Amino acid sequence: MAGEQVCCRVTCTAPVNIAVIKYWGKRDSELILPINSSLSVTLNQDQLKTTTTAAISRDFKEDRLWLNGEEADITHPRLQNCLREMRRLARKRRSGSEGDTAPLNLTYKLHIASVNNFPTAAGLASSAAGYACLVYTLARLYGADGDLSEVARQGSGSACRSLSGGFVQWLMGERPDGKDSVAQQVMPETHWPQLRVLILVVSAEKKPVGSTAGMQTSVDTSPLLKFHATCLDTFPPIFYLTDVSRRVIALAHRFNTHHGATKVAYTFDAGPNAVIFTLEDTVDEFVEVVKCSFPPESNGDQFLQGLPVGPAVLSEELQSAVVLEPVPGAIRYILHTQPGPGPQLLEDPSLHLLGPDGLPLRSASAAAPGEPR
């Protein structure tokens, strides 16, 4: 390996997106075609992102993959679907015809390294950011054209929405081949400059029931699939929310009731971590309410992360109406962010995750916010 030289290395980043109209259930599990359209907000990569480096060399003996510093199985069917489709798009662009022989460098093997700066598989859309970043990076590496959202969707459904910034719609489509099941930007991230997002991280642990398995079980067993409560109505029931999650929901309602207006709105992906949508002028007060309701125990210096949060003094009336029974340590940390752009190409070669030999650099692993580095 010491003599290998990488033909080309490309490094990109991609964002997390949070759905406000959810995707839950597929009409085609192979192509990942949803049973409904969905709408999401792309979050700023200054706080949440996946970084991926892809390298190609005639000296590589096999395709290899590293996730967060650990070698992973690159033969996963969804991953292979994305690799195959990106190579097909590259052949199509370079040859002018899908049927022509691929240029030599498209037969070279790939090395891929990817890291998240947030907890993986904890309900923070890590697979969406990961597959979006993979597809975007390969497109830059190969010079491929085409609708990348269609390819990313075949890795993780919601990944198609992470290929655009701001506010994004994933159209369910009608065609059986999925060609019309693509993501489109509705509005850019600059559309609503006052919007802020607070992620209340209850747990960074891997969820016991993955999204893929969970939504398929819902499709198979839940009579209420077209309505609400599908996870509870699934058999056996799926419990993504915890007692702390439900306390956060109640807290949000008390806060809104006190103000006589909807000051905060909440949503959850497939996990226990609450995502709060609010406006910039409400952030300071609501964060103080959360701190009083769920006092940090041992990580006070890391409890607030992301965009700055100012101090706030709560009135006695608000405290008595909203802060009922504090639960110390129940929330691990709060991440403050806002809408952001889609994937980005990193020009600085020092940011590559793979070295000139195509192997991960020592720095090619990332701790999530609030996690030991």
Please write the tens of the pLDDT for every residue from 233-280. Answer: 777 777 789 999 999 999 999 999 999 999 999 999 878 999 999 999
Confidence at 218, pLDDT banded by 50, 70, 90 = low
Question: Who's near 68: CB < 8 A, 6+ residues apart?
Answer: 114, 115, 116, 120, 365, 366
Q: Do domains 8-191+341-351 and 195-204+242-337 have the same CATH topology?
A: no
End-to-end Cα, the chain, rounded Å:
28
If you average pLDDT over residues 312-336, what whole number do you get? 96
* CATH architecture, domain defined by 8-191+341-351: 2-Layer Sandwich (3.30)
Alpha-carbon span 361 to 107, nearest angstrom:
25
Q: Which of 58-62, 224-228, 341-345 has the lowest mean pLDDT?
A: 224-228
Q: Which residues in 4-36 are b (16+ Cβ under 10 Å) and which e?
A: bebeebbbbbbbbbbbeebbbbbbeeebbbbbe
> pLDDT (tens digit, 9 = 90+) per residue, 296-316?
987 667 899 999 999 999 999
Lowest-confidence segment of 20-29, 47-56, 100-109, 347-356 by average pLDDT = 100-109
Domain ranges of the chain: 8-191+341-351, 195-204+242-337
Question: Do 152 and 135 touch, CB atoms closer than 8 A?
Answer: yes
pLDDT tops 80 at residue 285: yes
CATH 3.40.50.10490 fits 195-204+242-337, yes or no: no
CB 78 within 8 Å of CB 31: no
Tell me what pLDDT residue 372 has: 33
Phi and psi at 170, nearest 5°, equal -105, 110
What SS3 state is found at 25? Answer: coil
Task: Say what percent of the chain tops pLDDT 70.
Answer: 83
Torsion of CA 306, 310, 316, 317, to 10 degrees: -70
Predicted pLDDT of residue 224: 53
Confidence band (pLDDT; 50, 70, 90) for 126?
Answer: confident
Residue 87's SS3 state is helix
Give the closest residue to 245 by CA, choosing from 224, 270, 227: 270
Q: With bands split at pLDDT 50, 70 and 90, how would you rate the model's confidence at 24? A: confident
Strands (E), 62-171: 64-67, 70-72, 109-116, 167-170
Of the pLDDT bands very low, low, confident and very high (cuts 50, 70, 90), residue 23 is confident
pLDDT band at 34 (very low <50, low <70, confident <90, very high): very high
For residue 200, what is the DSSP state?
E
- pLDDT 10s digits, 133-172: 999 999 999 999 889 999 999 999 999 999 999 999 999 9
Quote the pTM value: 0.86
- pLDDT per residue over 185-196, tens digit each? 999 999 999 999
Residue pLDDT, tens place only, 65-123: 999 999 999 999 999 999 999 999 999 888 765 554 445 588 999 999 999 988 664 45
User: Cβ-count burial of 121 within 10 angstroms (0-12 exposed, 13-18 middle, 19+ buried)?
Assistant: middle
Measure the CA–CA gap between 223 and 53, rounded to whole angstroms: 43
Q: In the structure, what pLDDT confidence band is assigned to residue 213 with cuts at 50, 70 and 90?
A: low
Report cis status (omega within 30 of 0) of the bond before 236. yes
**Phi, psi angle pair for 25, to nearest 5°:** 120, 145
Identity (one letter) of the amino acid at 174?
E
Mean pLDDT, the chain, integer: 88
Q: Is residue 321 pLDDT above 90, yes or no?
A: yes
